[in-house]
Amino acid sequence: MINIGPYKLANSLFLAPMVGVSDKPFREICSEQGAGLTIAEMLTSNTDHWHSEKNRLRREVASINGPRVVQIAGSDPELMAIAARLNADLGAEAIDINMGCPAKKVLKKSAGSALLKDCTKVKKILKAVVACVDIPVTLKIRTGWCPSTRNGVEIARIAEDCGIQLLTVHGRTRECRFRGLAEYDTIVAIKQAVQIPVIANGDIDSAQKAAFVMDYTQADGLMIGRAAQGRPWIFEEISHFLATGSLMHSKPLDEMAQVIEVHLNKLYQFYGEVKGVWYARKHVASYVKQLPGGRQFLTDFHRCQEPQQQSDTLAEYFSLLSVNKEAIAA
């Protein structure tokens, strides 16, 4: 098992801090479905923007397993240190520094994966943040800025020297964004180069793929991103396969419906009924995209304007799925 400072994690499977996805309700659902650690959505280090509704919600405390980890992004060492200290004062139990985001609006501010071009600035930021807080500091990176300049090993060594306690590596460069396949050879090299825990990330979308990546990279853990959308029980599936070598049975429809219903109720409570209905549409679309009749169901679901309508429509859909499944089995 992995420790982050004084915190012993339940397992070595992490939920990625995906902007617009890994909000408080989704982190809680993934934690309930077996994630050992969930990291909050990226928060700007510019505290002038913290009072917006969007950033206020990102700082809401979730009821999760493991420590409360806040991820911050920015390019100014002093502002990053201040943001880290303020989050620690507000109850953060660990700080994660984002040097992996490939989004253009982040790169324009020389933050996220843009920092991988400047090892000197990387060192200044990491030193400033680590020195400013008494809680663990972790780091997320990509393998480099572009395929011809993969400097992940150099960044990893800098991170270790600066006191970073855990490193997550996405197996793509900034230039690759999310295109093509993740490569794991750089993660292998990073794991061999440092003593701190290394978490592998990128294209881990099944229990079998998780086992392959763990074996190939010898990483200390895995971070799951897009594959958890609409399938938060992937953490249970991976844990089971890593422990037993056998696949779990497909999640029963009634259990799947229950998870979705709990998720929707968390969304309504967190965002309010109006915005909760909006956010529910996005998440439910991910849940049903591989299910029979999902497209027609979504047409009806998207017409719903109130939580109860959404709940009733969802229940009716899963009831029909169960009836059809029983008919086919018969």
The residues with which 241 forms a beta bridge, in sequence order, are none
Q: How far apart are CA 141 and CA 122, in angstroms?
A: 11
CB 93 within 8 A of CB 67: yes
Contact 129, 164 (CB under 8 A): no
Rg over alpha carbons for the chain, rounded to the nearest Å, is 20
> Catalytic site residue 101?
yes
Angle at 214 between CA 212 and CA 218, to 5 degrees: 125
Bridge partners, residue 72, by sequence: 43, 97
- Taking a C-beta distance cutoff of 8 angstroms, is the pair 94, 137 a contact? yes
Q: Please list, in sequence order, all residues whose beta carbon lies within 8 angstroms of the beta carbon of residue 92, skipping any fewer than 6 positions away.
A: 68, 69, 70, 135
Whole-angstrom distance, CA of residue 176 vs CA of residue 172: 6
**For 324, how many CA atoms within 13 A lie in the half-sphere containing its CB?**
10
Sequence length of the chain is 330
Burial class (CB in 10 A: 0-12, 13-18, 19+), 105: exposed
Distance CA 177, CA 47 (A): 27
- Tokens representing 239 are 């844990």
Is the separation of the CB atoms in 96 and 17 below 8 Å? yes
Contacts of 318 (CB under 8 A, 6+ apart): 253, 254, 256, 257
Q: Among 30, 101, 162, 304, which one carries the catalytic annotation? A: 101
323 φ/ψ angles, rounded to the nearest 5 degrees: -60, -45
Active site residues: 101
